[in-house]
A and B are shown apart, each in its own frame.
Chain A
C-alpha cells in the first residue's frame, strides 16, 4: 500500500522559501511595503514563465527563445496600445503572437525531428536580428499611456498588484490541469518514455506541438505582465529571461530530461531564484553576478535531480531498519 507522502520535495522547497523570506524580513528592510511590493511585481512574470518552461521541459524539450518571444509579445502589445487600441484587443494580440512563435518552434522540432534546443537557439538569434533589423528604433516604444499601464500599476487594497493575482490564478489553473486532465499526464508520458506513450495511445508529436502552443500562450501572458508595469518597451531587454525560467524550473525539481517534476515546485523555484538574486543586491553585489549565480544554481539543481542517489541512500539505510517505500 502506498501512503501519501506529506513531506515532498516541493514541501521542503516551500519551507526554504518561507525561511528565506523570514530571514530577509528580519535582517533587511525587505519586509517594508516596498520590498514585498516589488517582489510581487517582479516575480509574477517569472512565475508564469517558469510554468511555461516547465511544461515544455516535461516533454523533454526546451525553449531557448522564450526570452525573445516575450520581447515580441510586449512589442506587439505596446505598438497596438500606442495607436489607442484598448486592452481587450492588445492582450489577445500579444498572446496570439506568443503562440505563433512558440508554435513554430514546436512545429519545426516535431516535423523535422531536430533537437528543440538547437532550433530555439537559432530562433533566439533570428528574433534578436529581427528586432534590430525590421522594427523601428529596434522596437523601442516609450511614453505608453494609462491605457497600457493601468493594469500593471493597479492593486487590490493598495497592496497586492493585479498582475500578482493573475500569475497566482494562472499557476493554480495549470496545477489543476496537470493533476486532473489527460493533457497533463500526456506531457509526463511523452517526456518519460516516448515509446510507452505511443503504446498508451498518446500521439507524441501532436502533444509536443500542443505544449509549445500552451507555452506560447503562457509566454504571452508573462510578456504582458512584465510589459504593463512600465511605460516603455524594449524587446531586446527580454533577452536572457529564458535562463531565469529554466533556473526556476530546475530549482523547483523539474527534471531537465523530461518526464517528472511538479508545477508547484516551479512556482517555489521562481520565488527562490528571485529571493536569491534580491539577497545579492541587498548584500551589495552588482547586477552581473546574477549571470554567474544562475549558471551555478542550474548546475547544482540539475545535478541533484538527475543523479541517482539510490546507492547512497542504501548506505544510509543500512544503519537502521530498512524503511521501504511500500
Chain B
C-alpha cells in the first residue's frame, strides 16, 4: 500500500471524528457550566469576547499544529511574539510610522522562525532543545532592547486592526482567525504539504527515501510558525496597546495545550487543524470563564498545566487502545 493510504488510515476518519465530537461536547459543556455559574456568560457580548481574546493564541496554534504533526515542537512562540511586539514598539517609538514598525516586526518574527527552522532542519539538534535555547535567546534580546521600558501610545488606526467589530458584535480578530484557519485546514487536509508533515511525524526516513525534501518542509513550517507569531504579536498589540517584556510569557503553554487538546499527537504523525480550532475555543472559554468568576491568571495557568497533562495522558491511552484493538486499520 502506498504512503498516502497508510497515513490516512492511521489517522482514520472514524476515530478523528469521534474525538472531535467529544471535544466539541467538552466545549459546549464548559460554556453551559460557566453560564450556570455566572449567567452573564450567556450574553452575546461575552460569548463574542471569547472569540476576541483567542485571536493571538489561535493564530500561533495553527502554525504549531503543523510543527507538532511532524513530531517537533516550538517552545519559543511566546517569546517570539514578545520580541516582535518589542521590535514594533521600539521602532514605532523612533519613527512614528506604523507601516515601518509592522514590517520590521513581521520580518523579525519570520527571521526568528527561520533561525529555528535552519537549526532544526540542517543539524541534528532536536527541536525541543533548539527552541528551548532560542526561547532564552529571544527573551534575552527583547529584554536587552526594551530594558524595563513599556512602549505604548500607538495610533488609533493601528489599534483598529483588532478593535473593530463586524455588525458591531463579531470581533475582527475572529474573522482573521477563521480565514487563516480555512487556509491552513485546506493546506493540511488537501495539500501535499499536510501529507508530507504527517509522513515526517510518522517516519521521516521513508519520506527521504521516496525523494521528498523533508528538510525544506521543516524549514518552511518553522519559518511559517515564526511568521504567524509576528501576526499574532500585531493583533495582540492592537488589543493591549502596550508592549512590555512580560507579554507572551505564558502563551507557549496555551498554544501547545490548544494543539494537544485538539488531538494532534505529540509524537507526530496524527493531527487535525479543526481540532486545534476547537482546542483554542476551549482555552478561550476557560480564560473568559475564569475572569468572570474572579479567578486570577495564576489559577488559569495552573489549570491549563493540569489540562495539558490530562490531555497527554488521555491521548496516550487512546493510542494504546487503538494499538491493542488490532492493526486492522494498517493492513
Which residue of A113, A118, A298 is within 8 Å of B129 (Cβ)?
Answer: A298
Chain A, interface size category, equals 35 or more
Asked if B267 and A112 make an inter-chain contact with CB atoms under 8 angstroms apart, the answer reads no
Most buried by B among A112, A124, A132: A112
Complexed CA–CA distance, A128 and B123 (Å): 33
Interface residues of B in 260-274 (CB under 8 A from A): 260, 266-267
Asked if A112 and B312 make an inter-chain contact with CB atoms under 8 angstroms apart, the answer reads yes
Asked if B312 and A114 make an inter-chain contact with CB atoms under 8 angstroms apart, the answer reads yes
Chain B, residue nearest A114 (CB): B312
Chain A residues near B320 (CB-CB < 8 A)? 113
Complexed CA–CA distance, A113 and B143 (Å): 37
CB distance from B60 to the nearest CB of A (A): 16
Mark each residue of chain B from 294 to 314: 1 if its CB lies under 8 Å from any CB of chain A, else 0.
001011111111101100110
Complexed CA–CA distance, A286 and B245 (Å): 15
Asked if B298 and A128 make an inter-chain contact with CB atoms under 8 angstroms apart, the answer reads yes
Asked if B299 and A133 make an inter-chain contact with CB atoms under 8 angstroms apart, the answer reads yes
Chain B, residue nearest A300 (CB): B133
Asked if A121 and B253 make an inter-chain contact with CB atoms under 8 angstroms apart, the answer reads yes
Complexed CA–CA distance, A129 and B310 (Å): 16
Interface residues of A in 292-306 (CB under 8 A from B): 292-296, 298-299, 302-303, 306
Which residue of A62, A112, A256, A292 is within 8 Å of B141 (Cβ)?
Answer: A292
B208 at the interface (CB under 8 A from A): no
Complexed CA–CA distance, A124 and B137 (Å): 19
Asked if A291 and B139 make an inter-chain contact with CB atoms under 8 angstroms apart, the answer reads yes
Which residue of B123, B135, B139, B312 is within 8 Å of A307 (Cβ)?
Answer: B123
Complexed CA–CA distance, A51 and B305 (Å): 27
A243 at the interface (CB under 8 A from B): yes
A288 at the interface (CB under 8 A from B): yes
Most buried by B among A108, A133, A286: A133
CB distance from B116 to the nearest CB of A (A): 11
Asked if A118 and B143 make an inter-chain contact with CB atoms under 8 angstroms apart, the answer reads no
Complexed CA–CA distance, A1 and B296 (Å): 66
A22 at the interface (CB under 8 A from B): no
Asked if B128 and A62 make an inter-chain contact with CB atoms under 8 angstroms apart, the answer reads yes
Interface residues of A in 193-216 (CB under 8 A from B): none
Chain A residues near B260 (CB-CB < 8 A)? 118
B149 at the interface (CB under 8 A from A): no
Q: A122-B309, A292-B137, A295-B137 are in contact. Are A112 and B317 (CB under 8 A)?
A: yes
CB distance from B124 to the nearest CB of A (A): 4
Chain A residues near B129 (CB-CB < 8 A)? 250, 256, 298, 302
Mark each residue of chain A from 111 to 126: 1 if its CB lies under 8 Å from any CB of chain B, else 0.
0111101110111111
B132 at the interface (CB under 8 A from A): yes
Complexed CA–CA distance, A288 and B316 (Å): 39
Q: A122-B308, A125-B250, A256-B126 are in contact. Are A296 and B266 (CB under 8 A)?
A: no
B247 at the interface (CB under 8 A from A): no
Chain A residues near B143 (CB-CB < 8 A)? 288, 291
Asked if A125 and B130 make an inter-chain contact with CB atoms under 8 angstroms apart, the answer reads no
Chain A, residue nearest B310 (CB): A122
Chain B residues near A303 (CB-CB < 8 A)? 123, 125
Q: A291-B140, A302-B125, A307-B123 are in contact. Are A123 and B133 (CB under 8 A)?
A: no
Chain A residues near B164 (CB-CB < 8 A)? none
Q: A112-B317, A299-B119 are in contact. Are A129 and B312 (CB under 8 A)?
A: no
Q: A113-B316, A128-B301 are in contact. Are A295 and B253 (CB under 8 A)?
A: no
A246 at the interface (CB under 8 A from B): yes
Chain B residues near A290 (CB-CB < 8 A)? 140
Asked if B124 and A298 make an inter-chain contact with CB atoms under 8 angstroms apart, the answer reads no
B144 at the interface (CB under 8 A from A): yes
Asked if A121 and B256 make an inter-chain contact with CB atoms under 8 angstroms apart, the answer reads yes
Which chain A residues have a beta carbon within 8 Å of chain B's beta carbons? 62, 64, 108, 112-115, 117-119, 121-126, 128-133, 243, 246, 250, 256-257, 286, 288-296, 298-299, 302-303, 306-308
Known: A114-B266, A122-B309, A299-B133. 13 other contacts (CB 8 A): A125-B301, A126-B306, A129-B305, A132-B296, A133-B296, A133-B298, A133-B302, A246-B132, A290-B140, A292-B136, A303-B125, A306-B123, A307-B123
The 6 closest A-B pairs by CB, nearest first: A129-B302, A292-B140, A295-B137, A291-B140, A132-B298, A295-B136
Which chain B residues have a beta carbon within 8 Å of chain A's beta carbons? 73, 75, 119, 123-126, 128-130, 132-141, 143-144, 250, 252-253, 256-257, 260, 266-267, 296, 298-306, 308-309, 312-313, 316-317, 320
The contact sample of 25 A-B pairs, CB cut-off 8 A, is A112-B312, A112-B313, A114-B316, A117-B132, A118-B260, A118-B266, A118-B312, A121-B253, A122-B257, A125-B250, A125-B308, A128-B298, A132-B298, A243-B132, A243-B136, A250-B129, A256-B126, A257-B126, A289-B144, A292-B137, A292-B141, A294-B133, A295-B135, A295-B136, A302-B130
